[in-house]
Structure 1
Amino acid sequence: MSREGVDHALRRLRDERERISASLVELDQQQGIRLLKGARLTGETWRRWEDAQSRLTTMWLLFDAYQRVLDEAGELRERSPRPDVATLTELSGMLAGCSVELPDGEIPLEHRTLLGPQERRITLDEAVAMMSDAYEFVVREVSAADSAWTALLLPLEDAEESWRTATRLAHSLDGTRHPDLDRGGRELTALGRLVRTDPLSFVRNGHPDTGRLDRVRAALTSLGDELAGVARMRDEYADLVARVTAVVEETEQTERRAREAYTTALSKIYSPNLPAPSAGLGIALRDRLAALERLREAGRWVEMAGRFAELERAAEEALERARGDLRLSAGLLDRRGELRGRLEAYRAKAARLGLVEDERLTALDGEAREVLWTAPCDLRRATMVLGEFQRAIRASESETGTRR
């Protein structure tokens, strides 16, 4: 190199050294690096971090060797304001030749002997290339672990908070162990240990897989919601019991009305084909309510919540069944009343049309009244007679209109 070439190379290399130094210091202070250094790693993350640490160490050793050569070249140039050929040759060898000694760990096997590794030197540019490769490897591995932790730690903390909340609720309710909660806690503990020590074991196709964690979190959240519902039931128990009791009382009243309507229908309606109404629904509900009260006295709120929900459903179903029984029996009596009302309406229409003296209508009127006001009432026969009555009125009305 000429003197100008040496000076130009020194300026370029010194500027390059400052940028490399800044990048290495920044990398060393990176949050992901500090997390990996402070964590007790296992599995895949430990293996990959070991490789990254080895590259990181080599990178610093290379940088030290690189810097020593550059410092020696700078000192030699400063001592020789007007360098001769020998000095320029030495400077050229330092700046462009194989002047950087590789750390032992970076010497390939083919360059080693039985007595130890042979000395191997590379150029400054080659040293920069090796440091760049190591830097990219370290950044890639640290970023992968940091991304995995970023994706996993938040759902893990949410799941752990859900477990703590559910545990406090379970303890406040009955103080007993909850099998699902214990099982979820054990699985969460194992997952938490794995997330904190081996986050890269969760990475699939380059992306963190939070599936297991999401399922545990969802199960614990659901369990927490369920226990919160039990706590609300405990706090609102008096109102809830009052509401269920009201349904039970209404069921009992409806059962009585259904039995009365059934008895009346049997005596008033001919061949009603009615099934016997349900009996004892209200009594059975009261027995279940009393059993729940014993659970409440024992403070077994979690067990009681499920049974209380079943009782609420059973009470609504029993009430609807009793109402259905009442509708069946009362419906027949209502049908008789409806037919009686239609008969009166037909008679009034016949009177308006001046058909009171019509023998056929008079006969149908008498037959309909006899059927509808005779117990038991044959509803089918009454319906047929009323149909004939209606058709007769329409026929007479048409004849009157034609004559006019």
Structure 2
Amino acid sequence: MNDARAARPPLDRDGADRALARLRDEQERIGAALLELEAHQGYRLLDGAALDGGTRRVQAEVRARMAEVWALFDRYGRTLAEAERLRARHSRPDRAQLAELTRLLAGPSVELPAEEVPLERRTLLAAPSGEKLTLQEVVARMTPLYEDVAKTVAALDTVWSALLARLAEAEAEQRAAAGLLASLGGTDPDLERLTAELAAMAAVVRGDPLALASGGRADTGRLDTLRTALADVRRDLEEAQRLREGFADRIAGIASVLDALRAAEAEARRARDEVLAKIASPVLPDLPDMSATLADRLAAVGHPPPGAAARAGGWNDLAGRVADLDRAMRAALDRARRDAEVIRGLLDRREELRGRLEAYRAKAARLGGAEDAELAAIYERARELLWTSPCDLREATVTLSGYQQAITSRVKGAQR
């Protein structure tokens, strides 16, 4: 192969000058491409980081390939520089000089030291010796190395950038939460736990990002979960801060809900007493005295002044207790109002049946049933049930239904 390459006819002067110009341009473009690759964000991250695991192995491979590329490029440049010096010394090169220029520009003029010959190009019995390449072969040797590094760096940069972006968001949430907690005082076990988890994740992201990659894409699930959890903690701490700034108003608001709860419970009890007096065997909901228990909890968080409570567990703890109390107070108020409505519904049912009874009686009169003894007897029975305390709603409903059916049957009979 070397002999065939060396046997080519020498370039003439114009051919040598054209080859020199082309190779200078090629050298500049190759150099610019290599510098651009090394300036790439992914390459800078990879080259300058202290890495572990699979990413460290990739880092070593990239460094080795780039070192090989630069070594080849350096030998390429030396050979081209030697040809340029030769051409510069002889404005009218003779045959021997043109032959030398041809060897340098187109022949196997780039000699690699034995240690730089790739393993796959060595043989078992041949003595270690340097390999000779043409400038074109040097470029062909550099090209796959460069492309492999570029692909590796681009893929790693895609993964790393996504992970670092998510990590930055999570760390921002953690800093915000930690700052709030520092101003509020006390401790937050959830924040401590999440901070430790975030530190461990940050070490992986910065030290071995490929451990968090799947199918060439970043797996940000754990970071997203951490960010969400930290955001929840931050919001709780912001609520604690708002509580500290408007503690008196917040307590006053809860106290007003307590007043409404007491009124709703009292109304439910009044309705229960009235139903027990006016309705026979009613099925009534239990009426727990929640206002008394919740009043004690309100006193615990509102008195003494918040300073003492805040020192015990911090405003964050106090905010949680106040929020729980607020929720419990409103839930109790909703229940008391529903209970009162259910109880009042029994009385409303009695009034509804009374109204329907009088409506049916008017209908019977319009149809000529005013003198009907059977209808009158049913009416009187229903009226007695509905206007007697306690009222048996079940029997009154059955009797009223019978009264309606009797009227309907007489209408059908008259139509026949």
**Alignment TM-score > 0.5, same fold:** yes
Structure 1 equivalent of residue 270 of structure 2: 260
How far the C-alpha of 1:8 sits from its partner, in A, is 3.9
Structure 2 equivalent of residue 137 of structure 1: 148
- Could you tell me which runs of 5 or more consecutive residues in structure 1 were left unpaired when the two chains were aligned: none
- Could you tell me which runs of 5 or more consecutive residues in structure 2 were left unpaired when the two chains were aligned: 1-9
Q: Determine which of 166, 172, 178 is the counterpart of 1:167.
A: 178
Structure 1 equivalent of residue 133 of structure 2: 122
Structure 1 equivalent of residue 348 of structure 2: 334
> Given residue 292 of structure 1, which amino acid in structure 2 is its aligned partner?
V
TM-score between both structures, scaled by the size of structure 2:
0.80
TM-score between both structures, scaled by the size of structure 1:
0.82
How far the C-alpha of 1:221 sits from its partner, in A, is 1.9
Q: Determine which of 204, 218, 231 is the counterpart of 1:221.
A: 231
SS of the aligned residue for 1:176 comes to: coil
Q: What RMSD in Å do the two structures reach over aligned CA positions?
A: 3.5
Q: Determine which of 307, 311, 314 is the counterpart of 2:325.
A: 311
Structure 1 equivalent of residue 3 of structure 2: none
Q: Determine which of 384, 391, 400 is the counterpart of 1:377.
A: 391
How far the C-alpha of 1:185 sits from its partner, in A, is 1.4
SS of the aligned residue for 1:254 comes to: helix
Aligned pairs (5 A) from 1:25-36: 25-36=35-46
Question: Is 1:258–1:277's contact at 8 Å kept on the other side of the alignment?
Answer: no
Question: Is 1:144–1:200's contact at 8 Å kept on the other side of the alignment?
Answer: no
Deviations 1:64-87 (A, max 9, x none): 322222232233344444544433
> Given residue 70 of structure 1, which amino acid in structure 2 is its aligned partner?
L
How far the C-alpha of 1:394 sits from its partner, in A, is 5.3
How far the C-alpha of 1:198 sits from its partner, in A, is 3.5
- Does residue 197 of structure 2 align to residue 187 of structure 1? yes
Distance 1:377 1:118, change over 3 A: closer
Question: Is 1:3–1:83's contact at 8 Å kept on the other side of the alignment?
Answer: no
How far the C-alpha of 1:165 sits from its partner, in A, is 0.6
CA distance in 2, matches of 1:398, 1:20: 106
Question: Is 1:277–1:322's contact at 8 Å kept on the other side of the alignment?
Answer: no
Deviations 1:47-74 (A, max 9, x none): 3333333333333333232222223223
Q: Determine which of 176, 179, 187 is the counterpart of 2:186.
A: 176
Distance 1:146 1:103, change over 3 A: farther
Structure 2 equivalent of residue 279 of structure 1: 288
CA distance in 2, matches of 1:281, 1:368: 40
CA distance in 2, matches of 1:223, 1:25: 46
Structure 2 equivalent of residue 46 of structure 1: 56
Deviates more, 1:347-356 or 1:202-211: 347-356
> Given residue 337 of structure 1, which amino acid in structure 2 is its aligned partner?
E
Q: Determine which of 224, 234, 240 is the counterpart of 1:230.
A: 240
Q: Determine which of 256, 260, 271 is the counterpart of 1:250.
A: 260
SS of the aligned residue for 2:144 comes to: helix
Distance 1:129 1:332, change over 3 A: closer
> Given residue 326 of structure 2, which amino acid in structure 1 is its aligned partner?
E
SS of the aligned residue for 1:101 comes to: strand
CA distance in 2, matches of 1:378, 1:7: 120
SS of the aligned residue for 1:376 comes to: coil
Distance 1:223 1:121, change over 3 A: same
**What is the total number of aligned residue pairs between the two structures?**
399
How far the C-alpha of 1:186 sits from its partner, in A, is 1.8
Question: Is 1:93–1:99's contact at 8 Å kept on the other side of the alignment?
Answer: yes
> Given residue 290 of structure 1, which amino acid in structure 2 is its aligned partner?
A
